[in-house]
Structures are given as structure tokens and as C-alpha cells.
Amino acid sequence: MDIEQFYSADERRRQSAEVEFGTNWFDAKGSRYELSWVEDTCELYAMFEPVPEVDVWTPFGDAEVSDVAVDSLTVLILGKVDAREDVERILAGWEDRMAQPEGVEWIAGQLQAAGVTRPQAD
């Protein structure tokens, strides 16, 4: 589902406080993810942004990308964790892992080790 579908499916998500656990997680293909926990639903989710098409390269070697369409941002609910303290314990050290290649695989391993399972698809 895209980010708007995610929020529309349960209005508690839209109204809830969220705790962000980094905005620059990457998988082996270089796709970027943001990781957040929704307080009112206890859901830990990743928002996936596919590898963008580069519009312009700056003289410093940086890529400039035009605005990303909302419907290209896919939300993956990774599981439910009942308390913020539990999420923080499971993801302890995330700041050091985030920028590393295949950081999303580290997240998956941490969740699996803690017994957090992904919800069944409807």
C-alpha cells in the first residue's frame, strides 16, 4: 500500500505520535527506507522509496531528484511492538547500522530475534 492508503486504512495512524528510527536505511539494491513506530497502533513500519531516476548531477557529484510521487512510497508493516521502550531495545544501535549497506536486513534480523512477526496480508 502507498503511504496515503496506510493512513486511510486506520485513522489512528494519522492522529498518532510517531517515533522515527532513521530515514536513510538501504537495501542491497540501493533503495531507501524510513523506519517509524506508530504509538497508537504499536506498528513498526518501513516506508520504501524505490531507487530514483536522477534528474541532474551537481558539480559536486550529488544527484538531484525531482519530487517523489506519494503513490511510489510503499509502506510495509513490519510488526507490532507494544511499547516504545521495547522498540528501542530491539533496535538498540540502529544509528550506527542505518548508513551501512543492507541495513534493512539488519532490521529484519533484529525483529526476528525478538520474535516480532509481520502481520498476515489481508
Q: Give the DSSP per-residue string, 39-68.
A: TTTTEEEEEEEPPPPP-EE-TTS-EE--PP
Which grid cell sits at 41? 497502533
**pLDDT by residue (tens digit) across 42-76?**
999 999 987 655 555 556 655 555 555 556 689 99
From CA 18, how far away is CA 9, in angstroms rounded?
16
DSSP 72: G
Most confident of 5-9, 29-33, 47-51: 5-9
Q: Where residue 28 falls among pLDDT bands split at 50, 70, 90?
A: confident
In the chain, where the domains are located: 3-113
Element (H, E) at 12: helix 11-15
pTM of the full structure: 0.82
120 band by pLDDT with thresholds 50, 70 and 90:
confident
Closest CA to 47 of 66, 71, 73: 73
Which pLDDT tens digit goes with each residue over 62-114?
555 555 555 668 999 999 999 999 999 999 999 999 988 889 999 999 999 99
